[in-house]
Amino acid sequence: RFGERAVGFVAALPLGYAPGLGTVCILSAGEKAEYVLRCLSPAKATGRAVDSAGQPVAGAFVWIRSFSDAQNWAALVRPDIGAGMAVTDAQGMYKLTGLGVSKGLNEEWTVRAQHADGTDSVEQKVTFTGGDSIVIPDLVFPPFRKLKIRVIREDGVAIGGACVSDPEGLTTALWLTDSLGTAEVKISESKPEYLRPRAFLVRAPGFVPTTTPMLDPQKIQLEHTVVKMSHARRLNGRVL
């Protein structure tokens, strides 16, 4: 009826139910339209994120739906309704609320978790029942190796706040050096290709980007790998 009209989202946020969401067309003045928003019984879930040794992982992001899901944004308007995402506390615990599932029926969703620094992620399929609360089995992150890096200026002074990344894109994680210029690069053991030797990119404001020597995550590193950075030089000129 509305042709190629622009569309948006509308949400109903009733207490005691999961949000009802719908896609609506943008109407012109004087036009009317009716939309039915279905609000289902909310399912709730709690769980814990741990490392390979069973220790809690704090600050991990846990989610069911995509971050672009309209329900998650609706939760910003009414935080009490909950959403399909959470952050683990100091004990690795999290709670997912306001998940729309028809009462008495089951739905299988994938629960995902990611380290706060983006080092690795883990996922698990879970069956939710409308109107019920469940406990999700532990989300277990795989073990990882550490590479120790120290970033300094040419005169030996430490560079704090330098950013270390993987230019090959095997991980999207970023690591920042502390006030002593040191950083621990965490390499997940979840896939064999993550553990192959490679150089890492180091960047810092006011310095020329540089790379580390080839580093092998599978070798035990007793000392920090030192990376020296040169001050960036600027050229001024004019184009005629």
pLDDT tens profile 27-86: 677 777 787 887 776 777 899 999 999 999 999 999 886 444 555 555 555 555 556 778
| Collapsed DSSP state (helix, strand, coil) of residue 187 | strand
What pLDDT sits at residue 225?
A: 95
- pLDDT above 70 for 16: no
Mean pLDDT of 167-184: 90
Q: Is the Cβ–Cβ distance between 19 and 84 less than 8 Å?
A: no
Does 141 score more than 80 pLDDT?
yes
- With a pLDDT cut of 70, the percent of the chain lying above it is 80
* pLDDT value at residue 39: 75
pLDDT of residue 130: 67
Q: What is the distance, to the nearest Å, from the Cα of residue 75 to the centroid of all Cα atoms in its chain?
A: 18
Give the dihedral of Cα atoms 194, 196, 202, 208; nearest 10 deg: -140
Mean pLDDT of 21-29: 72
Burial class (CB in 10 A: 0-12, 13-18, 19+), 222: exposed
Q: Which residue has the higher pLDDT, 75 or 192?
A: 192
Comparing 16-20, 61-65, 154-158, the range with the smallest average pLDDT is 16-20
Q: What is the pLDDT of residues 73-124, one digit of tens each?
A: 555 555 555 567 789 999 999 988 766 666 666 778 889 999 887 778 899 9
Mean pLDDT of 122-138: 83
pLDDT at 67: 47
pTM: 0.67
Q: Which residue has the higher pLDDT, 186 or 83?
A: 186
Rounded mean pLDDT of the chain? 82
Q: What mean pLDDT do residues 138-147 have?
A: 92
Cα–Cα distance, 65 to 121 (Å, whole number): 15
| pLDDT over threshold 90, residue 227 | yes
Report how far residue 152's alpha carbon sits from residue 160's, in angstroms, rounded to the nearest whole number.
9
> Which residues, in sequence order, are bridge partners of residue 207?
231
What's the pLDDT score for residue 1? 41
What pLDDT is attached to residue 90?
95
**Strand-by-strand arrangement of the 175-176 sheet:** 175-176, 163-165, 201-203, 210-211
Q: Which of 38-42, 124-128, 167-171, 235-239 comes out lowest in average pLDDT?
A: 38-42
